[in-house]
Structure 1
Amino acid sequence: MEIRLYSPVNGEIKELEKCSDQMFAEKMLGDGFILIPSSNNFRGFTDIATVTMVFETFHAYSFDVDGLQFLVHVGMNTKPLKGVGFTTELEIGNIVNKDDDLFTVDLDYFKKNDLSKETAIVFDINDLNSYKINNLKIGRVKQGDLVCTITYEFISKNEKKILEPSTDSKEFFNISNKYENSAKLINKFVGGSSNYEEVYNCMTRLRFKIKNKSLVNIDELKKTNLVKGTVWNGAELQVIIGQDVYKLKDEVLKLNNQTIGVKNELGLVSEKISITRKMLAMFSGIMAKIIPVMVGAGLIQAIIAILVQTNIMPNIIFKTGSKDGVLIAEANVGWVILFIIGISTSYFMGIVLAVSAANYFKLEGLMGVALGVILCSPLLFGDGGRLGMGNDFLILDLGTINTGNPVLDDITKIRINTMNTKIFVIIGAIYTAKKLDTWLKRVIPVALELMFRPFIVIALVCPLAFFGYGIAWNFFETLFGSLIFYIGKIPIGIGVGIFVGLWQVAVIFGLHMMLGIIVMIDNLANGGHSVYGISSISVWAQVGALIGVILVTQNAKLKKEAIGMLPAGFLGITEPILYGINLPKKRPLVSGVAAAFLAGAIASLLNVTKRANTGIGVFQLIGFFAEPQLGGTAAISPIENGLFYLLACIISISLAVLFSMMSYKERASEKTLLTKTIKSLITFAQLELNLNKDEVTKIKEELNQTMLNLDKTTLKLIKATEKNIQNWLKVKEKLNSVIEKEDSIKTKIIEKGKILIAKSKFELADIYKIRYQSIDNSKVIAVLEEQIDQLFKQIDLDKLNESIINIERTIIKKIYDLIHIKKSILKDVENIIFNNLNSVQIYYNLLKSKEENINLNLLIANLKQENLKQIKR
């Protein structure tokens, strides 16, 4: 097959490899060429094409040309323009030829803002057996000039065909790509991932919610090997697969995620996300990946704690000073190996964090590992330093001060130290490295890139992290620790209670090591025991808050995740709990902080102090039954100390369970959200328009009257709908558990079978093949699927949506009638009200929230600040 390509605009043609953006230069999105436009109006670039996608920001367009999928991407890094400088009347499904107008671009605007005009015209090559770009016209061209021809041949049906399950074990265990290949073909024949809003499955069918039916190639879809048939149900396309449907859906989702990852770099993903959401997503995305490492290392540490307490294993230390410790250099090598297995990931967690951050920011190669090793270098660790987490080096002494606060006194000492626990320093360094690396790719010649790009990244980022980010973070840590020191001195247990309550908050932000300095100073001053050392009570408060969530939540998926976090919590590892549930849900975190405060204050009044270090979690209790370690005198006996500490932990976990159960809500109610929005909007209008008291009162009364449309009947309908959704999700979670269990067993059998085939043990492989084929939960799955279908029918979203839409229209109309502020702000308020009224569907992922571009409370604060400035003048 052959097609002709024409220049859509006056300009200059260049080879694709010369594009400044590596995504295009390396042909990640296909082959083609670069056009530097010199005129504004773009016309068709081929004899006939079908528009398959118009991106929200108008900077990119997709076309189908005789089966070839083309992308026209105007400018590099033009997504942030949000459509400014582009105009078009194209719509999906339009058929255009080379004389039709496509879109216009304001090149003067590009020039003023120093934006690249490079326009990539590329076609997808993944489904081609062969292709050739013929006679590409390099250099100046005019609109309508023939640029090149493309000859191509699609992969033949025989080559596409996937092997059916075979009776031969050798074939059976070597068809791992079956689902991946089928997913690619199905994705193509339904019109690509951009042609459906959602993909899901039942027991035998893969279901797509299709946007444009004309782009679906049913004939080719039916010929795909794993496809047994197709059924249309309105806009839903049901592709009949059979029992392999779950595996196939996973491959489709995996394929889509890979595509989105590449397109996101180019701004081809149109979803808008606020800065706050991006930051939270970044933080949780990086931290979530290191949770398994924390849990695994925590279990080893627990074993070490038991061995040390039972005197089977010596207490290994890095430097002299502890009367019952054995220097690591003098310990038995077997114990040393166990010791480093347990503690290395804690002492050098920054390396793991750097790798996770590099993975999140897509920093290429092993640069994340290299930067992590440098910033957390074992060479800087020495004998552990003041806190046992690494040495620090004094580089500048600004003098000596004596404030009575030993933490604040240290603020004049500018130190460089290892970054093992400095979460935000490492994340900042990796982010900087990614930005620098991306820029260097554009400016360094390819021949010199291998040598100089990594050299420049390491040479610039590492000193910046140590002497810039690190020093700034140390300063912040010192101020934070100083504040907590003063707070800790508040009498009748209140200060210690606050110290204990805030410990887990400090853990979230990596500030707990500064609090550890306070514990160390107090421990030395009191001869080996410290009241601030009872901060471990906060661990049990967060565990208790999590248990409270487990007891009250109706979200089956959340409950399952929470139960899975409990073992780590009992071992003293709270990061999974904090980052996974308590922090995102907010109220459990606050419940835990409040419970820890009260329990810590009670423990302080009972004179409880931390004495021996016997591990973390449940094993920490043992150390509270010891005498002070450095010969100090405590107010109570070891037995009393241990029992009172145990009592404080019980109080902590009990109060946290209670507070969490009382305060936890799956989500804020529609009425609560809407009331807050209306209240903030009225306050903003009052400040912006300088309304008097009577005008404000009138607006309040009329809007409150309008809000009565959200009446008891509607709220009752929302509550009933939520209950039905929860029941539906419970059964879905049961189904997922059955599928996950079956999938886990089958995966292990496949892995074992491949090993046997590799060793030519075919008879044993036959046994494993039979075992694989005998695993069949289809009857159980069928029952659950039927239940899911029946429960979903009970969720009357149409009735709910009809009610919500009417209420939304009434409220928005009244707002426009009463509040005469900028239309752009009112338009953004519409999105907030939409999210308020549709809270239940958004929370359970049945509806996508609209972007909230403004924060009314922030706007109010800014107006108040401006008013204050005017008063002072």
Structure 2
Amino acid sequence: MKIKIYAPLDCTIKNIRKCKDGAFSSLSLGNGFLIIPKEDEFYSMFENATVKSVFETNHAYLFNVNGIEFLLHCGLNTVNLSSNVFTSYIDNNNNQSLNDRIFKVDIKQLKKENFSVETPFVYEGSYEMEGFEEKDYKRGELITIVNVPFTNRLIKDEKIEEDLEGYESKFLKLAKEINELVGTKENYDKVYNCVTRVRFKILDKKKVKYEELKKLLNIKGVNWAGNELQVIVGGESGLVKKEIKKLNNGDYSNIDFKKNNKDKKFSISSALSGILVPCLPLLTASGLLFALYSILTQSKAIPSDPQENMFGFLMYISSITGLSLVGIFLCYNTTKYFGGNVYIAILIGLILTSRLYSFVGTQVSSEMVDGAKSIKDIAFGTFINDIDRGINGWYLFRIGDYPVTIRAYEGSIIPFVAAGFILTKVDILTKKIVPKSLDFIFGTFLTMILTLIPMFFILGPLLSLVEYGISTAIIWMEKWPFGIGITIYGLLYQAIVLTGTHNIINMAVNISFLKGTPSLIFAVAGVAMYAQAGGCIGVILLTKNKVFKRNAGLTLAPLFLGGISEPLLYGVTIPKIKPFIASSLAAGITSFLIYYLDLKIDIPAGGGLFAIFGFIGIKKQLLILLMWTLSIGFAILFTILIYKEKLDEFKYSMKYNRLLKKILIKSNLKENEVSNVFNNLKEASNEIKNNKLLFKNYEKYLISLNCIDAKLEKIKFKEEKNKNKLYKSAIRAKKNKNLTVEDKNKIILKFKNYNLNNEKNVLELKKQNIILTSVDLKNKFDNFINKIFDKQKSILTSINESISFNKEKILNGFSNSLNSINLCYDLKTKLNDKFNFKKDWKM
């Protein structure tokens, strides 16, 4: 497609790189050229175009020609001019042809007020300009032809496939670039994100290509915090981190799972999380089914006895099966995690959960087996049914009065994890021992035998006993006097979530829970989760950072709808620290109230708000709603009381002045020398205090930029979401044999040409204008904080070298105080200024 561009008036045309405005000369707003007007009235530059946007001061115009956006910006920094300098003849959505007037500018007034008349003309993309030449042009004379490939021509089927298969979302592209430059997954043992940053726990700093990372197009900054590398990408951090994890897990390749995990650094906690977490959606779905079943029975829509009603029976079976037979999935996940045969794992899981155990032999009380009067008299291999403990199976031995049996392990966890691990190791061993010619016949048989024997007679019984002990210990903690155990658990629950062990504890409690024992622990987990939501809401109420406010708000949805608190924890409360502490304190207080009211969850239910269906009866449901509300309310209140979004520059600098004074006194420096150092530093702090207006104006400038960034991120999310939908439609069209080439082209062209550049360019233009009009303010602010910091640094340097203390941390404190506003808007990372006298000072 060729788009002809004509001179809008008599003018001189120059290369866009000669523009005095860096936003245009750097091509960050697109390719194009520079117009130096010789008269006042501008006419249309296109044979046919649509007016997409007219800037409110009438100095800038956005046009659309066959899906390509063109921007005409009259003068530089002219956003601040009064509207009478520009007179517009057009409105949004007007159609324009070659001889139509666009606007009039008073060039004499423009020059009188010392504004440049340079008029940049740019378009999206880097399409070639045919025949472009720098020279003088008359109005209506052809300047150039923009050659846009692909847009209106027909494509052969193979070309369609070629164009589509290389598509990657911008999040995946950025993830690949970042992953490569940090040294790939071999150079970090953890990747996670907060609201604006993707964070890596780096193993070898030397392998990180730091300077190249900073140059990436969509990166806003890169910072080190010890061995943690923070890559600032804005509100898309969660999506970029998700793509990095997919890359590491082989989701975008054909890497064999076994090979992919072969060199993985083993960690019990990470292994258990990798095994347990995939089961959570299954348990959540089963819990919601059970909640629905409970609602129907409580409302008497179906009988409470499932055997009285076909629909009730089907509902009961659907809900209880997933919860009871979760072990099969755990065995499968364990085997998959360690690279074993998952099909054998399924069969082993089915054998270990089989209800046939209950229908073999004579089921009688343990007190009446073969005339035995107590458990001590029961013979090995006798089938028993211990009514008191709810245990039946083939008797092996006893520990005290506790019978250890071969039985089904419904609702268990640890035996199945062990079975999957043993299966994998045995499978590897049999493949080495059994000849390949016999492996197909005997390999699986031997693997099963060598896995089942230890599970039946040793590990199964012993591990179920361990599991029983854990479950009993947790239930015992519920009974500690005055609710001490429950309160402590509530205080620490979200910290436990960070370790991943909460899944293990929850699964252990689930064993007794499935047997009909109501749980305080699960009720406490709920209020602890909602307390973190309250901490997040408190931060949202306090922050002026619109981007952070929006993205923090997005972390609330997974928590309320699914009970998933990790995005909120890693994204908001933990990076801010004090909101996490405030939320944990709120959880502890509400947990005590849960104990006092004996508010136990009765049946399995879904996560988040759906957990309410686990409490039977309107009274309990209203009470738990009250507890959740109190938990959120306390957390909001405590967050507001103890958390300050922005450091007070003067007070924070004085804090380090006093700290340094204390260090010097402890170091036995002469009193007059201590006073001299302190007074000089106090003088620097007073300069900060006397320039509060400068800090206030600088923050206003950042707030205005931040508001635009928040809108831009919202548009970019929308653009990427719609682009992915159109891509999927294009892929379906490519594969659809019933569509003609023309129809396929239309769908593909819609995908190829889709963007929201119109909306983005208007905002980018506003942002550039704010930056340009605030150059003096920013320079003044930067010069001031640099001057104060140099003064503070000079004072520290002048201190006698015989006094040994960590000067870097004191300087970091001064730097943090001066950059308080930049820290709030993620333009700087807070430096480590925690001074420890034992480590950072020597007598």
TM-score, normalization: structure 1?
0.48
Give the structure, 1 or 2, with the largest relative contact order (CA under 8 Å, sep 6 or more): 2
Structure of greater Rg: 2
